[in-house]
Chains A and B, each alone.
Chain A
Amino acid sequence: MSSFAPALPPKPVADLDTQPFWDAVAERRLVVPRCTACGAWIWQPRPLCPRCHEPGPAWVSVTGDARVASWTALHPPVLAVWADQVPFVILLVELDDAPGVRMLGQLVNEAGALLMTNGAAEGLEIGSAVVLRWRVDEAGQTLPAWTLI
């Protein structure tokens, strides 16, 4: 296992359809694509609205306020980069400002540092309210993350 285990976390590779998301993340803004014709919120990003096929969705800033739709906590064996940080929680959150949009992020503290927990001590539940924070990962990549309120 160790010979396969990279020392850095998986690196997001943007493409033409997703670059605006990562550009905004670098500026610590969370943006979600929204159809300019029918108003549908779209996630994951794509070039056309899947409802009305209008091209070029707008990238709309959202607060990141959200509710927990689900979560998991990782235990070994994990990638080497995370071996000393587990258990940590990965949240699936539903954004308050973009109904129906669910995205992933890690559970962090107020300062954006990864919490070593399975969520039990924090009282994490489906439906828990969370707010957006920013985490800089082991490779220097900024990532959206959430903390409980």
Chain B
Amino acid sequence: MRRDKPRQPVVAGIHALPYSKDIGMTERHSGALAILGALADAGLTVDDVDGICRYVWQPTTEMEMARVLGVPNLRWFGAQDYGGGAGPPTMALACAAIELGLADCVVVWRSRNRSSGGRPWAGQMLAEGQDQFERPFGIVRPADGIALLVRVWMNAWGWTREDFGRVAITVREHANRNPAAMMHHKSLTMEDYLASRMIAEPLCLFDNCLETDGALAVVLVAAERAANLDLTAGPAYVTGYALGSGPQVYAMTNYYADDLTRSPNSFVAPELWRNTGLKPGDIDVVQIYDAFTPQVPLFFQEFGFCGDGEGAAYIASDECLTYNTSGGGLSEAYVHGFNLIVEGVRQVRGVSTAQVSGVKHCLVTGGNVVPTGAIVLSKEPW
């Protein structure tokens, strides 16, 4: 990778509105507040913004957001698709614009009224495109889609429900330390987990992420711009990122490629290690996309933290890297993984409520059953 030090992307500001079941405002409103908060965190104003990048899956376009905020001119704008896969790719697109010199200050946001706004699939009656071969048979909720893949993984590698329960409990314990987490005051035991009701077998209630109203934003600037800012909380440098789809990919219902045990992340991982020059042993903490618990052991094996099929044994071992320190999508908030990015920045800043000591590199991933990506946030520049 060509590395132009003055153009290295830097996370200069972050902000998250309080998570809730009913935020009481539109997504354009909460998104604007999140962006203003992130700009204030960076010591910047709307007049500094010259680029915007958004998740495709939200009702507010980047132009509408620019109008709401009164951005004088956008030199660059873009968007990334695919739901839970979109977090790191949205960041990556903004980073690429900064590295190319197309923009100096790009805001990236995600606002979603997923709790009060209802379940997006529940009102859908017409099954078009790929859906025509899936929804009429009952594959309607996200959990239905991934459940079929999870059973394949359990069968291939002997994973058990207890393995998934371990993930749910680990992230819940992190949420119990995080006052901002929706599940901050709720404990979870293996007994609770195993007794919970089924949603889409083999997935039970606690294998599923939360339903949240939330809004978060990140401000990315070029390193040469960051040098002139008073970043009291400290910069988080973007060391690198990667995207991947794999062959014949379908978002969530990725049933049709040759190998059902490989997710798009298995294509992201080698690309990420190549782009960053890092290896698993260089990573100090990870924020793994966790809309569903089985995505966590799959992450560890596909990124090479352990061998193929060893993900569940790895997370049960003492060697397991600390993950999802805010409580993740399962226990902090589900905002299509954007809280994982913000938590990654907090780990680099050293201000997480479950802080890992001496963090140099934090890896953040997108969903691994959709076209996806990953990004490494670092304490030091290139």
Query: A: which residues have CB within 8 A of B?
Result: 1, 4-6, 8-15, 18, 22, 43-44, 50, 69-75, 78-79, 82, 87-88, 90, 92, 100, 102-106, 118, 126, 137, 141, 143
Contact = CB atoms under 8 A, between A and B. Distances in A.
A104 B119 contact: no
Q: A interface, by DSSP: helix, strand, loop or mixed?
A: loop
B55 to A, nearest CB: 22
A6 B136 contact: no
Most chain B Cβ neighbours within 10 Å, of A8, A70, A82: A70
Contacts of B86: none
Given A4-B118, A44-B256, A72-B201, 15 more contacts: A4-B119, A9-B135, A9-B136, A10-B127, A10-B135, A10-B140, A11-B136, A43-B256, A50-B248, A72-B200, A79-B140, A88-B138, A90-B138, A90-B139, A137-B136
Contacts of A10: 124-127, 131, 135-136, 140
B281 interface: no
Interface in B249-266: 250, 255-256, 258, 260
Interface in B185-224: 197-203
B197 A75 contact: yes
Contact of A102 (B118, B119, B197, B256): B256
21 contacts: A4-B119, A6-B125, A8-B125, A11-B125, A44-B130, A44-B133, A69-B152, A69-B260, A70-B149, A70-B152, A71-B151, A72-B200, A73-B201, A74-B144, A75-B197, A90-B138, A104-B137, A104-B139, A104-B255, A118-B201, A126-B152
Interface string B92-134: 0000000000000000000000000011001111111111111
Contacts of B275: none
A81 to B, nearest CB: 10
B147 interface: yes
Contacts of B144: 72, 74, 90
Interface in B212-251: 248, 250
Contact of A72 (B127, B133, B148, B197): B148
A75 B197 CA distance: 8
Contact of A104 (B134, B141, B151): B134
